[in-house]
Amino acid sequence: MIGSQSFEKFRDLDALFVDKSLFIEDFINSPSQVDLILRPRRFSKSLNLSMLKSFFRIGTDPDLFRGLVIFERKIGAEESSSSNENVKTFMEEYCGKYPVLHLNLMHVHGSTWMEILRELWSAVQKMAEEHRSVIDLKYPGEDPFHFNKFFSDPPSEDFVKSSFSNLMQTLCEYHKKKVIVLIDEYDTPFNKTHREVFYAQTMEFLGEFLSSALNGNDALFKACIVGVGEVKMDWMSQCKHMTVHSYLNDKYSPYFGITVEEVRQLGVDEEALKHVMKWYGGYYFGDYQAKSVQYFGLERQAQHICQNS
């Protein structure tokens, strides 16, 4: 299934899916509270965040993971005997146990600062909408996220700036569980505005917006942020529990892109695979090589997949 970024759609439609579910285990076991993962475009970053969301969020359907490696995976599987009946699985311990906030910054750009602020507020509203029932109980009759005025101008800058961290606190207090935060395309607002006069304003505002949520926030359990490039912001250097996984770092590399061996497991013709290898050599992350051959694997025929990348 080409183009979809929804893990649930892949599973519901029984679409071709390369099992990357051990990403969940590595994310849980990461010593970092905040992981920033940098990978090229079209490398399943959004799909992997969707998978994390489907796994952790309260009220999820565990059967979405039936048949994947993580479904039977025991905690500490590499250190202990898998036959130990007293060892819990990751499904038992973590699946459906956390409030999850999923923020997508893909559309946060514009030709003026007010457009940037409006799009950021829209992204916050969409994130909050998934937890509307909790917000309505916490703030009866107040509508702090303007659900009934979706296309209105954003509230004050100070309100928008603190909205992310405030929503985290609300969910943490209600569920009595810390929050998992997922941020997609975190670098888009900066990449789209780097030539604009309001670039510095965007950097400062979004830096404070993200810092309040991710740096020293007691409501945070873990966070996964993905993007293409690293944006140097002051709060990142101050965040002691954050690790940047760049293109030179091979941690998490098995879970982004697709390897030649994984393509072979899909039953692709070897001669056709050689054509793809000739056209497109792939990426190296640390000592790990991955290839963007998603279209080829699905259509079973060679095509110039790097032409429009």
Query: Contact 265/19 with Cβ under 8 angstroms?
Result: no
Distance in angstroms (rounded) separating the CA atoms of residues 9 and 15: 8
Domains observed in the chain:
7-256 (3.40.50), 258-309 (no CATH)
| Higher pLDDT among residues 221 and 285, named by residue | 221
Which of 4, 38, 82 lies closest to 252 in space, CA to CA? 38
Entry pTM: 0.84
pLDDT in the model for residue 300: 42
pLDDT bracket for residue 280 (50, 70, 90): low
Per-residue pLDDT tens digits for 236-264: 777 778 999 988 888 888 888 877 777 77
Query: Contact 262/293 with Cβ under 8 angstroms?
Result: no
Q: Give the tokens for residue 168.
A: 């985290």
> For 143-154, what is the mean pLDDT?
73
> For 40-61, what is the mean pLDDT?
93
- Is it the case that residue 304 has pLDDT exceeding 50? no
pLDDT bracket for residue 220 (50, 70, 90): very high
> For 85-114, what is the mean pLDDT?
93
Q: Which of 16-20, 66-70, 95-99, 266-270 has the highest mean pLDDT?
A: 95-99
Distance in angstroms (rounded) separating the CA atoms of residues 67 and 65: 6
> For 53-81, what is the mean pLDDT?
87
- Is it the case that residue 191 has pLDDT exceeding 50? yes
> For 272-287, what is the mean pLDDT?
65
- Is it the case that residue 135 has pLDDT exceeding 90? yes
Q: Decide: helix, strand or coil at residue 261.
A: helix
pLDDT in the model for residue 270: 77
